[in-house]
Structures are given as C-alpha cells and as structure tokens.
Structure 1
C-alpha cells in the first residue's frame, strides 16, 4: 500500500469582544482546530492512544475457499524494528533502512499493517493521496446510506502507486465497508466488510473482513498491544 496525502484544513476562529481590564482566556490550538474527516475517522478508532504504545504484534490471516495463509508480525513502533514470523522463516529488519533484499518483506508488512490500521494510515501518510468526502451514498454491501471517503494515491512512490480506496462509514466515523480500485479504475477490484471490532489499550481495530462475492475472509488473530 503506501503513504497517504491529506489536505489538512485548519480553521482559526478570531474572537473579538469589548475592551475590559480582565484578560480573556486564550483559545488553545486543540480547541481552535477543526478536524478533517480523516482525523475524525482516525480518532474514532483510538488514534489519540497510539503514542502510548511500544509495540504491536498481530497475525494476518486469509482464508480463500479451502486455502489458508498466515504470517505474524511484531512491530516496535518506537524504533521501527519489524520481525516477520512464518512457519518457514523468521526475518527481522528496520524500516528506516530497507534495502533490495527486504523490499518484498517490507511490502508484505505495509500491506498487512494497512489492513489492520487503515484508519490511522489516513493521518500517518498525509502527503501521498487526494481525497473526497461525500454524504448520503449507498454502501456496496449493506446497501444502507453512509458517508463515503475516496482516497486516490499519487503515482509516485509507494508499493502500489495510483490506487484508490472508497471507505464507507456512519456518523460515528467507524468504517463498515471499503472498496479497493487498482490504479483508480472505475470498477472495484475488491469489496470487503469491516467488522468484529475489538478495543485493545484504547485502539479500536476491525478484526474481520469478508467479501460478499467470494468464499474469502481476511482477519487478524493474536493481536497484542504493549
């Protein structure tokens, strides 16, 4: 997946009152800041607790028909040390110094982490996509009316440049469904649910994703947060 571009809008309010001897209280930046829809989605999923974490461990699973695939990741969020564990191998590296021998492994980590923490990626990867927020749109799976956020990645950099994602969510800013469109084509390549949310140390994580058109489940097990 990749880095993201967020066009942050900071709205500053100016308050003017009668001149008095008593000083008016200062408006803090937090109080004076209008959150973008990207920040609202991230915060609804516990993003404000992320900096308290030292590490996160998770197993990425895919069941397709009768086939099963899995790999486990341990990510030290402060040092950016990553360890991948499979039945065949264990590989450790640091994301600050990814060379040609680690590109495939790091691409797997970026993919799996994106599925796990997509609401946070909207804020982290602020400079690699454009976005549009639309209200009152029919969601593709449930057919209910939701908000729609479309992100389109830049063509430069990242592992999958030019791709697009459509996020569907309610007034609570929790993602319920999403669509992946390769290279921003009009037709979806994959549509899945976001369900089975679990709260871990303040993080709100969607553990299960299912396709309505196939025997397919992508889900997470063994999620540990420290």
Structure 2
C-alpha cells in the first residue's frame, strides 16, 4: 500500500511539473507571437487607446526665431475634429469632408502622426510593408539600436509611397526617426523623440529636435478624456 501511495504521489508531482512547463512554454510562444509593430505600439500605451473618448493637443514648431502652432480636438470614436488656429475654429467630421475640411485634415493627419506614430503602426498595418533589424547605427545618437522601417503603399493617403525608419532600444520607445519622401534613399528629415511624459497610461514624446539645427517640433496642452 505504501508503494502504491508513493507511486501515485510521484505521478501527481510529475504531472504538476509538466503542466507548469507547458504553461510557461505557451506564455513564451504568446510573447514571441506579438509582432514588433505591437511591441512598439504597446510600449507607448496603445492598449489604453480603446478607453479614449477625446484627445486634445497643440502642435508647435520653433525654427530659429519663428514659432508656429495649431491645436486639435479629436473624438476618435465619432471622428469629429476641431481645428483651432489664430483664434479661429473649424468643426468637421472625417467621414464627411468638403474641400476645406479635406485640406485642413491634411494638417491633422500630419500633426497626429507626429504624436501617435507608434499607434499608426497598428492602424496603418494593412497599408505598408515593414522590415526589422537589430544593431543598426542610429543617425543621431551614433550607437546601435533596433531599426524598424515601414514603406507605405504607392496609392491612397496624403503621402503615398513614403518611408519611415524608427530607431529604438530594448524598451521599444522610439528614440529617433527618419522620414524619407517617396522611399528615397536620402533622409528628408531626421529628428529625435525625447522628453517623454506618462499621461493616462500613454507615453508621449513631447520634443522632436534636429541635430545641429535650431529646430524643435513639440507638443503641449495634451488632454485626454477616458471612459
């Protein structure tokens, strides 16, 4: 009887160990199954986006002594947008745009992309091809980083065929990027992603600076209304 009990106990012990190993293996496979696009987006708080009812922000550019700014209020669930510039406001819905709204919306797409580009890696995934490599030299920091390159399709959108190179480290937060118009080899613009803030579970880069230039594209007055 003691022999039987010992055998049963050993069997149950081995079964428990096996189950734990299987669960760890499943968790490892699930982690590996997450694409690099999702890893970058999630590092910036994408999983919280479903809670956003409204987001407001001001897009600014300081170049030498000149300053430019415009503000936006966006309700992503209804696609209602308010554009505010020089004291004037324009209300429109992105599903029903006239020629004025369409032209204004080009500015909204640009400014929103600078703020939420990591999320566009998910939103736009069907419209671009991408490659990912490690140990690539970042153009500003001059040190090895991960490099994610996306190239948009040549049809549709405001800037078809454009390419972006994102550089990031093991935390998946973007540190630099390169914009290449029409997927040309030479950079059209290279800036930092810096001065991150933690806002309602999102990580926003507030400043984007060019090396060796008196230039800063930055955001302020960011507000989010959550569920």
User: TM-score w.r.t. structure 2 length?
Assistant: 0.85
- Residue 71 of structure 2 is matched in structure 1 by 72
Q: CA deviation at 1:218?
A: 0.2
Q: Specify the structure having the higher radius of gyration (Cα).
A: 2
Q: CA deviation at 1:122?
A: 0.3
User: SS at 1:165's partner residue?
Assistant: strand
Aligned residue-pair number = 202
- Residue 116 of structure 1 is matched in structure 2 by 115
Rounded Cα–Cα distance in structure 2 between residues aligned with 1:150 and 1:78: 29
Rounded Cα–Cα distance in structure 2 between residues aligned with 1:90 and 1:161: 29
RMSD: 1.9
Q: Please identify runs of 4+ aligned residues in structure 1 that moved more than 4 A.
A: 30-33
Rounded Cα–Cα distance in structure 1 between residues aligned with 2:124 and 2:164: 14
Rounded Cα–Cα distance in structure 1 between residues aligned with 2:48 and 2:182: 33
Higher fraction of helix: 2
* 1:181 lines up with 2:170 in the alignment: no
Instruction: Please give the per-residue CA displacement for 1:115-136, whole angstroms capped at 9, x wherever unaligned.
Output: 0000000001121110000100
Q: CA deviation at 1:174?
A: 0.5
Looking at both structures, which has the greater relative contact order when contacts are Cα pairs under 8 Å and sequence separation is at least 6? 1
Instruction: Identify unmatched segments of 5+ residues in structure 1.
Output: 1-19
1:188-203 aligned at under 5 Å gives the runs: 188-203=187-202
Instruction: Identify unmatched segments of 5+ residues in structure 2.
Output: 1-14
Instruction: Please give the per-residue CA displacement for 1:188-220, whole angstroms capped at 9, x wherever unaligned.
Output: 010000001111111111110000042110000
* 1:85 lines up with 2:84 in the alignment: yes
User: TM-score w.r.t. structure 1 length?
Assistant: 0.85
- Residue 149 of structure 1 is matched in structure 2 by 148
Rounded Cα–Cα distance in structure 1 between residues aligned with 2:188 and 2:78: 35
Instruction: Please give the per-residue CA displacement for 1:20-47, whole angstroms capped at 9, x wherever unaligned.
Output: 9xxx89x8xx966411100000001110
